[in-house]
Amino acid sequence: MFGIPGKSPITMTTAAEAQIAKLMASGGHKGLRIGVKKGGCAGMEYTMDYVDDVDTHDEVVEQGNARVMIAPMAQMFLFGTEIDYEISLLEAGFKFRNPNVSEACGCGESIKFDDALSADTSRA
């Protein structure tokens, strides 16, 4: 919807691709839906949910055996994002490297987007 023809709206590292494919296979899901919602100390949070039925308005990104659906409201916020999966001594999880983020809180769970992007959603 907000994409550039021939260019994927998001990319996944090899680690993220493998983890998403593993999650899909273990639960028999068709993929993961990524979105954003209001919340957290910086104003917005990423969401990830299992998908069993693909919404016709979702942007579908397939890479290897991984499939990610981008919720319609989140498409303009996530364009250009790289999704990674990192494992450390204390935690494991998906990391979003998003060029549209203007601020992030110290805990890394909450983000703020450029005011121009945020203004677009207030009209909806």
pLDDT at 64: 94
Full domain range(s) for residue 71 = 10-118
Give a yes or no: residue 63 inside a domain.
yes
Q: Could you tell me the CATH number of the domain that includes residue 15?
A: 2.60.300.12
Give a yes or no: residue 4 inside a domain.
no
Give a yes or no: residue 124 inside a domain.
no
Give a yes or no: residue 67 inside a domain.
yes
Predicted TM-score (pTM) of the model is: 0.79
Give a yes or no: residue 3 inside a domain.
no
Give a yes or no: residue 2 inside a domain.
no
Q: What is the mean pLDDT of each run of 10 residues along the chain (124 residues)?
A: 68 97 94 88 84 91 95 89 94 90 70 62 48
Give a yes or no: residue 53 inside a domain.
yes
CA distances for 8 relative to 35, 116, 118, angstroms: 16, 22, 22
If one counts the domains in the chain, the total is: 1
Residue 119: count other Cβ atoms within 10 Å of its Cβ.
10
Q: How far apart are CA 66 and CA 7, in angstroms?
A: 17
Give a yes or no: residue 46 inside a domain.
yes
